[in-house]
Amino acid sequence: MNVIKASNIITNFGKKCIHDGVSFEVKENEIFGILGGSGSGKSVLLKQMLMLEHFDGGEYEIFGKKLSNISEKDAAFLRQNWGVVFQFGALFSFFNVFENIALPLKEYTKLSPSSIKELVFMKLKMAGLDESVATLFPSELSGGMVKRVAIARALALDSKLLFLDEPSSGLDPHSSREFDELVLSLKRGFKLSIVMVTHDEETMKNVLDRFLILKDKKVAFLGTQSELLAQDEALYKRFMG
């Protein structure tokens, strides 16, 4: 079953065309990658799916809801059913870890303070963090811990769809591989569908189930790693090393 279906997406910024008929689908419980060179429009696709960026033609369908002319009610439904981790975590610096994770629970649920506390600690554990970090502020965390807290917050409402924008950006190789392991375990344990923009070769090789490669405003490839190797060895070497 498809969680996301993108059909013939066209994007223009002024007179410049970024996407010219981009189509793909994201299946249930898969990790789907959006790859491409610098300036190919990877993050623009991600922002379009999150309703943060316009598109000029085509259609996105997420959980059966069409994004063009979407109603406020359906937009609110989608926002409550997906989680997002932006490039550098995007935690609120003036909130501690506990407050950052509790925010969506306070905003979208009528849970009691004790239930929220229980859930926050559960999400911390799920992200591989100890309860003791709950009182720390983002400035006191390592880069890897910031990303884990951002994951805990993104999954606070038990989302079934997770968007990750360059998740290993700014992390050292060891922390990047640990983050890859976390993403794989979350997919397995919580039946998550994950959409990821990445340029990390190891992540591409070890984490992605399927991916697309953007090139010259179009989808140059869509499929698995082994299919890419069989179809275009030069393209494989460029992205997978």
Written as tens digits, the pLDDT of the chain (241 aa) is 899 999 999 999 999 999 999 999 999 999 999 999 888 899 999 999 999 999 999 999 999 999 999 999 999 999 889 998 887 668 888 999 999 999 988 888 888 999 999 999 999 998 888 889 999 999 999 888 888 899 999 988 888 899 999 887 777 888 889 889 989 998 988 889 999 998 888 888 889 999 999 999 999 999 999 999 898 888 888 887 6
In angstroms, the CA 163 to CA 84 distance is 5
Give the model confidence (pLDDT) of 133-178 as tens digits. 999 999 999 888 888 899 999 988 888 899 999 887 777 888 889 8
Number of alpha carbons in the 13 Å side-chain half-sphere of residue 206: 14
**Which among 207, 84, 208, 189 has a CA at the least distance from the CA of 126?**
189
**Which among 223, 125, 136, 108 has a CA at the least distance from the CA of 182?**
125
Pairing of strands 57-62, 2-13: antiparallel
**Which among 193, 87, 205 has a CA at the least distance from the CA of 146?**
87
Q: Alpha carbon of 105 to those of 98, 134, 163: distances in Å?
A: 11, 15, 19
Handedness of CA 111, 112, 113, 119 (dihedral sign): negative
In angstroms, the CA 41 to CA 167 distance is 17
Give CA torsion, residues 239, 3, 168, 218, to 10 deg: 30
Question: The whole model's pTM is what?
Answer: 0.91
Give me the helices (H) in the chain, please. 42-49, 72-81, 97-108, 113-126, 143-154, 173-190, 201-206, 225-231, 233-240
- The domains found in the chain, sorted by start residue, are 2-240 (3.40.50.300)
Burial class (CB in 10 A: 0-12, 13-18, 19+), 69: exposed
